Amino acid sequence: MAGLYALAYLTDAFIPTSIPLMFGFMMFAWVWFSRGIIRFIVRSYVQAGIPKKRIAIYGAGNAGQQVAATLTRSNEHLPIFFIDDNPSLSGQNIGGIDVYLPETALKCFAKLRIDEILIALPSVGRSRKSEIVKFLEPAHLKITEIPGLTKLVDGEIRVSDIQEVDIIDLLGRDPVPPVAELLEKNIKDKVVMVTGAGGSIGSELCRQIIKNQPQKLVIYELTEFALYSIDKELRLASNVEIVPILGTVLDQAKLERIIEQYAVQTVYHAAAYKHVPLVECNPIAGLKNNAIGTAFSLNAAVKNGVETFVLISTDKAVRPTNVMGASKRMAELYCQAMAEAQDQTQISIVRFGNVLGSSGSVVPLFKQQIAKGGPITVTHPDVTRFFMTIPEASQLVIQAGALGHGGDVFLLDMGEPVRIQDLARQMIALSGLKVREADSQDGDIEIQYSGLRPGEKLYEELLIDVDNTEVTQHSRILRSYEKMYPLDELLQVFERFNELTAVRSDIDWALSQLEHYVDGYQRGKEVKVN
């Protein structure tokens, strides 16, 4: 183009002024067009051998239509049809996609070569979603879902947002919104301390606490990396002052110094050993950390005038068959006795079952086993457990602590117990796979039964005395009144506990005390000297 201009001005040749402009435009258009053609050819060639995933979308409403549009624009997914419960939509075509009733869809999955079912019902409750998942199980297709309403409202839904169905949805119980006043009562503008702050429950407690604007949060943890991780996370999430303390709950002097130095007003005691087989093999270590650690933490709190002390307990403390559960019941008894002996510190105990996603939970284990092609290991065909999400459990712990009067044992309503075998089967179904029964070669993933582990029960309980319970102002929290022992009597036992070593005579004495004080406990054959 510059050459044409030069030729026009330096010679007598007549070249219209528009010629260079037209030439430049045509060259630009050619370059742009040719690059587009080349890109299209290359992309078509690369993707020629990658078939698009054929998707059935459950829900033909606004959310489903947004998802369908997003999938249509993608290179990896292709929406084939909608599934919707509304009879008036049956047979209609929305945006070029047919709508089927669920019963009709079940017959079409194989015929239309559907690879995956995507649930596009962001506002539906857990009970309804659980029903949908169970209805779709015979299809043996992977089931996914879209995120909540927020992203849909913001128009931010992306293919990458599609996720696996949350396992909690299989439990069929909707959470109860927290009571704001109860969440804030022991936290807002107060100095709060969490022991075991790096654990599954402790770390979530910290996350919930900083949402309620404490003056300061002291995080106390034995494991260096766990403390580092939660400290870093909390600092990024909030401007609340975080004080990380590396220490053990078996150091009462340090606990006293920390509580006094930072003028702690509320303590949530979550530090504990919780893995049943490990504690069964290390009974003295488990007893000291769970029972003595609680006693030392409470002693330090009472000595320094802490307003509220909340012990995080477990359903395994009720008629336990293992040292872990018995040690937690001893911790409960000490808290009850201390609550009776003084009135300056309000002491509460919160007891609940398994939480989904915690360390040692069956859910991540089952996911790993499914990813490897199985088998899934379940201890016993009839074993059942209570389940709750970590955030829900943590919120209820905070609210229960705010309801206490002193020495209260609070029970969190965990819903109906879940049979672990059923949980495993549903997780296999959500992955689009089929259970391979013991006497059959048909199916993908086998469920193997390994037998109950040392100290493990077929089912857990939340109540020692069913008759002595009452409701509270929160629909998911019950108050229980249970057998107690005087503090003077327990102090002698705990002093001796603290002196024990892992020799047979000490273990025998410790287990005899557990059998005496803990209703239902009888030592197992698997208790070892480690």
| Catalytic positions, written as ranges | 316
For residue 263 the two structure tokens come to 């003028």
For residue 154 the two structure tokens come to 């913001």
DSSP string, 470-493: EE-SSTTEEEE------HHHHHHH
- Rounded Cα gap, residues 236 and 216, in angstroms: 15
Phi-psi label, residue 413: left if phi above 0, alpha if psi -120 to 50, beta otherwise:
beta
For residue 348 the two structure tokens come to 């509460």
Give the pairing of strands 116-119 and 53-58.
parallel
Which neighbouring-strand residues pair with 460?
none
CA distances from residue 75 to 55, 159, 474 in whole angstroms, order as listed:
13, 10, 49
As to burial, measured by CB atoms within 10 angstroms (0-12 exposed, 13-18 middle, 19+ buried), residue 347 is buried
As to burial, measured by CB atoms within 10 angstroms (0-12 exposed, 13-18 middle, 19+ buried), residue 270 is buried
- Other C-beta atoms closer than 10 Å to the C-beta of 324 total 27
Closest by alpha carbon to 480, among 365, 357, 318? Answer: 318
Could you tell me if 319 and 294 are in contact, meaning their C-beta atoms sit under 8 angstroms apart?
no
Torsion of CA 416, 420, 425, 429, to 10 degrees: 60
Could you tell me if 527 and 283 are in contact, meaning their C-beta atoms sit under 8 angstroms apart?
yes
Sequence-distant contacts of 504-510: CB under 8 A, at least 24 apart = 504/529, 506/284, 507/283, 507/284, 510/283, 510/284, 510/287
First to last CA, the chain: 88
CA 311 from chain centre, in angstroms, equals: 20
CA 59 from chain centre, in angstroms, equals: 26
Torsion of CA 518, 521, 522, 525, to 10 degrees: -120
CA distances from residue 40 to 34, 88, 257 in whole angstroms, order as listed:
10, 41, 70
Place of tokens 């998707």: 55
- Rounded Cα gap, residues 192 and 189, in angstroms: 9
